[in-house]
Amino acid sequence: MKFNFQMWWLFTRAALRTQMADASNAVLWAAATLLGMLLEWATLWALFARFGSIPGWDFASSSMLFGLVRIAFGIAEMIGRGFDRFHHVIRKGDFDRMLLRPVPVAIQLSVAEFSRFGMIGAGMVAFLYGCSAAHVVFNFGTIAYLVAVISGGAALFYGLLMMQATLCFWTVDGIEVANAVVYGGQTAAQLPLDKLSRPLTFVFTYVFPLAIINWIPAKVLLTGEFNLLALAAPLIGWLFFGLGALVWKMGVRAYTSTGS
C-alpha cells in the first residue's frame, strides 16, 4: 500500500506540474469552475426566493445539501478524473500502453485535476453559509463526523466513476448512460429526499446510496439527532467504493485490447 501511495503521489505531482506550467490557464479554469458552481447555487436561491421554502427545507438547509454533494463530488473527480475521461483512453488505444507499465492502471488514472478545486471551493462556500444561516452548532464530534461523511461521499462518487469507466470495456458509446447516473445522481443528491417520488427515493437510497451520504447527514447536522444509519453513512460510502473497485478489476480482466 505504501508503494501504491508513493506512485499515486508521483503521478499526481507530475500532473499538477503539467497543469501549472501555464499557471494563468490553470487558475482561469479553476475560477471558471468556481463561478459556474456559484451560479448554480444562485439559481437555487432564485427558486426559493420566487416560490418560498419547501416544508421542512429552506434555502439555508438546501445550501447544506448543495455544498456537501459538491465538495464530495469535487474531491472524487479531482483525484479520479482519468476514470471520468476513460472513454477517450479506450478510443485512442492508450490503455494498452498503461497495462505495460509496472504501475497499477488505477493509479495512472487517479491524478489530480486542478480546476476541480473551484467546485470544492464553491461547495465549501455554500455549505458554510447554510450551516451559519441554519445555526448549526459545531463541536469536535460534529466536525469529526462531517470529515467522515465527506470522505465517504467522495469514496462513493469515486466508486461510481470506476463503474462508469468499466462500462467502456464493452461499449464506449453507451457511456452517456453511466453519465446520467453519475451527474444526474449528483443533482438528485442535492435535493431533499423526502420530496422525491418513491421510485427515485428507492434508487438513490438502496441502489446508488447518494441520499445516505448526503441527505441523512445533513438532517443530522440540522437536528443534532444521530441514528444508526447516520453513523453508518461514511462506511456505506466506502463499501460502495469497494464495490466499484471490484467491478473495475473484473473489467480489466475481461479487457482484450483494441488491437492498436
For the segment 30-85, what is each residue's pLDDT rounded down to a tens digit? 888 888 888 888 888 888 888 777 777 788 888 999 999 999 999 998 888 888 88
Confidence of residue 194 (pLDDT cuts 50, 70, 90): low
pLDDT of residue 173: 66
Residue 259 lies in a domain: no
pLDDT at 2 over 60: no
Decide if 13 is inside a domain: no
Judge whether residue 1 has pLDDT over 50: no
* Per-residue pLDDT tens digits for 224-253: 888 888 889 999 999 999 999 999 999 988
Domain count, the chain: 1
Residue 156 lies in a domain: yes
- Is 174 a residue whose pLDDT tops 70? no
Nearest to 150 by CA among 205, 203, 84, 76: 76
Enter the C-alpha cell of residue 107: 493509479
What pLDDT, on the 0 to 100 scale, is given for residue 195? 67
pLDDT, tens digit, 9 for 90 and up, residues 103-158: 888 888 887 666 678 888 889 999 999 999 988 888 888 899 999 999 999 999 99
Q: What is the pLDDT of residue 234?
A: 92
Contact 237, 214 (CB under 8 A): no
Separation between Cα atoms, residue 154 and residue 162, nearest integer Å: 12
Q: Residue 182 has which C-alpha cell?
A: 453519475
More confident residue, 173 or 106: 106
pLDDT for residue 242: 93
Q: Which domain holds residue 101?
A: 24-254
- Residue 5 in domain: no
| pLDDT over 80 (residue 210) | yes
Asked if the structure places residue 175 within a domain, the reply is yes
Q: What is the pLDDT of residue 126?
A: 92
Residue 114 is assigned to a structural domain of this protein: yes
**Residue 245 lies inside a defined structural domain of this protein:** yes
Supply the pLDDT for residue 258: 59
Backbone angles phi, psi at 57, to 5 degrees: -140, 130
What pTM did the predictor assign?
A: 0.87
| Residue 89 falls inside a structural domain | yes
Residue 259, pLDDT > 60, answer: no
Q: Is 57 helix (H, G, I), strand (E, B) or coil?
A: strand
What is the reported pLDDT for 109?
85
